[in-house]
Structures are given as structure tokens and as C-alpha cells.
Amino acid sequence: FEFGAVTDITYVSISGHNGTDTGNDLTVLVNDGGGATVASTTVSRNNNILLTFASQSFTALRVVFNMTPDTFPISVSFIAAGEYLTVPNDGEQGGYSRAWMARTLKQRVSSNLNYAPTAVTKRKSSLKASLTIPNAGTAFSRGEWQDFLDFASDNLFFIRENDALPESTYVCMNPSLNTAKAHSQTRALDSLSLKFDAYNGL
């Protein structure tokens, strides 16, 4: 997939691909018009992917999918690029739900008069997730966080949980833009939170 010239981007994200449906691994590369590779990863499941790199301008941003067999028809729902935001305080608290590994499958089983199962229907639904940052500095909450909320109110956004795992990613939508709350002990900190629906590709 080629997107032409873009400037000052630090990430490329991918959602809704079927590149591992053959049971083989999928390699995704980001390069400039077929030139040097800027970032790459290999995944074994259809997880969403977020690749980050130093700020880069491209004459022709290209996202390449290498799969086996190479004749397999791939579909991709969404590709985005831009500047990422690093959430302070390592971005998560104890008990944070790892949405990138979750499954949203719901089963309905039909049975006969003896209650023996005769058929199973399956349906997927969106994940429900939240992010809490209880000790954010006021400079962050009044600056970058506000810019992020402005973006999230009009666009899909991605969260990646682990920098070493590009597949630890999910696309987020329908955010509940909660009000920042004053910290209980100091006015130098704020408590921030955000609820949203998510899709991880699985």
C-alpha cells in the first residue's frame, strides 16, 4: 500500500488484516518508496499492529505485507500514520486489562429435547476498555492530554501496551471523555481517565 509523500510521522498502525489466515506468519514493513526499511515486525495472529520510529518524512510512504503463500488475497481495513503520544507513569496501573490478548466471542448453543448440543452460533462484539493515569503532571494534563482528547473526539486512535511488541495494539473508538480530577494530596498532579470501545483484530 503506497500513500505518497508525508512529513514528520513517528508511527504507522494497521487494523483489521487477515494476513495470518493461512496459518503462517505475516511480516509487515514500512519503507520509503521501496527503499530502506524504516520499521518492520512479524506476527503470527491477526492482531492490530503499531510500528514506531524516529520522526521521518517520506517521499512515498509504503506499507508492505509479506506472507506465505504470496498469492493469498489479503484485506486490510485501516492504516493510519502520524505522531504518537507517550503516556506518562508507564501508562498503566496494576490490574490494567490487556485488551490486545482478549477475545470477544459470544456463543449461543442450540440443544435438543435431551439438552444435547446440536448447533453453535458465534458472534463477536467490541471490547470495553479504560485507561487511568492517576498521577499525571498538570503540564501534561493541560497540554498534550487536551490535544489528544481533541483528536480522539473526531478520530479512531490506537493504544500499544508494550513497545517491544507491535502486536500489543488495539484500535479505540467511542471514547468517554472523562473530566480530569484534582489529585487528593497535591495540586501539582491530576487524575486522568478514559473509557472506550476497542478492537484488537482477533
Give the bridge partners for 190, in sequence order. 136, 182
Grid look-up 505485507 returns 65
Residue 8: exposure state from Cβ atoms within 10 A (0-12, 13-18, ≥19): exposed
* Structure confidence at residue 138 (pLDDT): 85
- The H-or-E segment that residue 140 falls in is helix 138-142
Q: Tens digits of per-residue pLDDT, 139-184?
A: 888 889 889 888 888 899 998 888 888 888 888 888 887 777 777 6
Q: Which three cell numbers stand for residue 144?
A: 498534550
pTM of the model: 0.79
Q: Which among 132, 105, 126 is positioned nearest to 195, based on CA atoms?
A: 132
* Structure confidence at residue 145 (pLDDT): 87
Q: Which residue ranges in the chain fall short of pLDDT 50?
A: none
* Structure confidence at residue 137 (pLDDT): 85
The pair phi, psi for residue 99, each rounded to 5°, is -65, -25
